[in-house]
Amino acid sequence: MTRLALADAEALARRVLVASRTSETAAASVAAALVAAEADGLASHGLSRLPAYADQAKSGKVQGMAEPALTRTARASLRVDARDGFAYPAIALGLDAMAKLASDTGVAALAVANSHHFGVAGHHVEKLAARGLVGLGFGNSPGAIAAWGGAKPIFGTNPIAFASPREGKAPLVIDLSLSKVARGKIMVAAQKGEAIPEGWALDASGKPTTDSKAALGGTMLPMGDARGQQLVLMVELLTAALTGSQFGYEASSFFTADGPPPRVGQFFLAFDPKAFSGPTNFAARAEALFAEILSVPGARLPGDRRLKLRTKAEKDGVEIPDALHQEILRRG
C-alpha cells in the first residue's frame, strides 16, 4: 500500500485530470471529491475511479472542459446543465445557489441534467447541512436493477442521501444505494472466482444466482425486493424524467471510455428548518431524538465510523494499493 497525505493525493489527482483534457476548475472539484471519499473510507468512490475518469475525459465521453450552466426556472427551483461534463462542479454550482435560495424561500429544488457519476451522494447533502439546511439528494446511474419480475437492467442502483444540521457537531448524514449490496462487492467476488450469497443478484435470464460472473451479466436485486424496486422507480423518475436526463437503461457505463456520455441526472431538495419550526425548535427536537437513540446500549448514529476515519485521514493521510498508485502516476 502507498500512503498519501490528503493534499498530495488531491494534487496528484488534479495533475492527472488536467493532463487528460480537463480544466483546472473541474479537476480541482473532482480531485477534492475523490480524496474526500478516500478519507471517509469509501474507496469504491475514491481514487480507484480516477483512471476511468481520466480515460473518459481523454476520449470525450466526459467533457472535461465543460462549463456547467445554471438557470433559475421558478421562484424556488434551479436547473444546472452539466453539459456532459463531470458531475462535481455542476452540483457544486447548483448547491451554492440553492442554499442561498432556500434561505429566502424556505424550500428549494435543484435539477442537474446531462451529468455523470456523482460519487458519494452523502457528501453533497452534507454541504447543505453544514449551511444549516436539511438536504435530500437522489441520483440515477447506468442500468443494473430490473423491473420486478423482469430480467432486463432498466434502473440504476439509484442512491438516496439525507443530511441534517446539528448544533456544534458534524451533520447527521444518511447515504444508501437501493441495491441489496454494492455492485463492487460482486465485481470483487468475480475477480477472485468466489461465489456470492443467494439473494444478491439474478443471472441474465432473471433467475437467482450465486455465480458472481453470472450476476455481473444479469441484474442486482433491490433492497426490500418488490417494495424496494418501487423506490428505485421513484428515484429514476426524480433524477431522469424530472431533470430531462437519460434513464438507466439508456446510460452508458461509468467505467469505460468508449460510447456516448451517460447523461444521467441528479435531484436535490433543501429545507430551511427556521421556515417550518421556528429559529431553534428543529435543532432541539432533533437532538432529543439523537439522545434517545444513543441512550440505548449498542445503538449509534449513522456516520460515526465515517467521521472517525475522516479525522484519522486528516492526520495520517490515506492508503491506496501500490498498483493503483502506479497506474495513476502513469497517467499524470
Contact present, 90 and 80 (Cβ < 8 Å): yes
Domain with CATH 1.10.1530.10 in the chain: 1-65+302-332
Find all residues with CB under 8 Å of 315, minimum gap 6, and list them.
Answer: none
Strand locations in 167-308 (E): 169-176, 201-202, 208-209, 219-220, 264-271
282: left (phi over 0), alpha (psi -120 to 50) or beta: alpha
> What pTM was estimated for this model as a whole?
0.94
| 97-114 as b/e: b if 16+ CB within 10 A | bbbebbbebebbbbbbbb
pLDDT grade for 331, boundaries at 50, 70 and 90: confident
C-alpha cell recorded at residue 111: 435539477
The per-residue pLDDT for 277 is: 87
Distances (CA, A) of 313 to 67, 129, 167, 244: 31, 22, 24, 38
Would you say residue 184 has pLDDT above 80?
A: no
Question: Could you give the 3-state DSSP secondary structure of residue 96?
Answer: helix
- Give the phi and the psi of residue 141 in degrees, each rounded to 5: -155, 170
Half-sphere exposure of 148 (CA within 13 A, CB side): 13
DSSP string, 14-67: HHHHHTTT--HHHHHHHHHHHHHHHHTT-GGGTGGGHHHHHHHHHHTSS-TT--
User: Is the per-residue pLDDT at 188 higher than 90?
Assistant: no
From residue 66, alpha-carbon distances to 80, 265, 267 in Å are 12, 16, 20
User: Across the chain, what does the average pLDDT equal?
Assistant: 94
Give the HSE-up count for residue 330: Cα atoms under 13 Å, Cβ half-sphere: 8
* Residues 209-234: tens digit of each pLDDT: 999 999 988 999 999 999 999 999 99
| Predicted confidence (pLDDT) at residue 190 exceeds the cutoff of 90 | no
Average confidence (pLDDT) over 122-148: 96
Q: What is the distance in angstroms between the CA of the first residue and the CA of the last residue of the chain?
A: 19
pLDDT tens string 234-291? 999 999 999 999 999 999 999 899 999 999 999 999 999 999 988 778 999 999 999 9
**Is the Cβ–Cβ distance between 128 and 135 less than 8 Å?**
yes
CATH 3.30.1370.60 in the chain: give the residue spans: 67-179+222-277
Q: What pLDDT band is residue 296 in, cutting at 50, 70 and 90?
A: very high
Count of Cβ atoms closer than 10 Å to residue 186 Cβ = 23
- Let me know: does 112 contact 92? Beta carbons within 8 Å: no
Residue 254 host element (H or E): none
At 106 the pLDDT is 97
Is it the case that residue 183 has pLDDT exceeding 80?
A: no
Q: Does the structure show a pLDDT above 90 at 185?
A: no
pLDDT at 242: 97
**Hey, what CATH topology would domain 67-179+222-277 get?**
Ribosomal Protein S8; Chain: A, domain 1 (3.30.1370)
In CATH, what is the architecture of 1-65+302-332? Orthogonal Bundle (1.10)
Handedness of CA 202, 203, 206, 209 (dihedral sign): negative
pLDDT of residue 249: 97
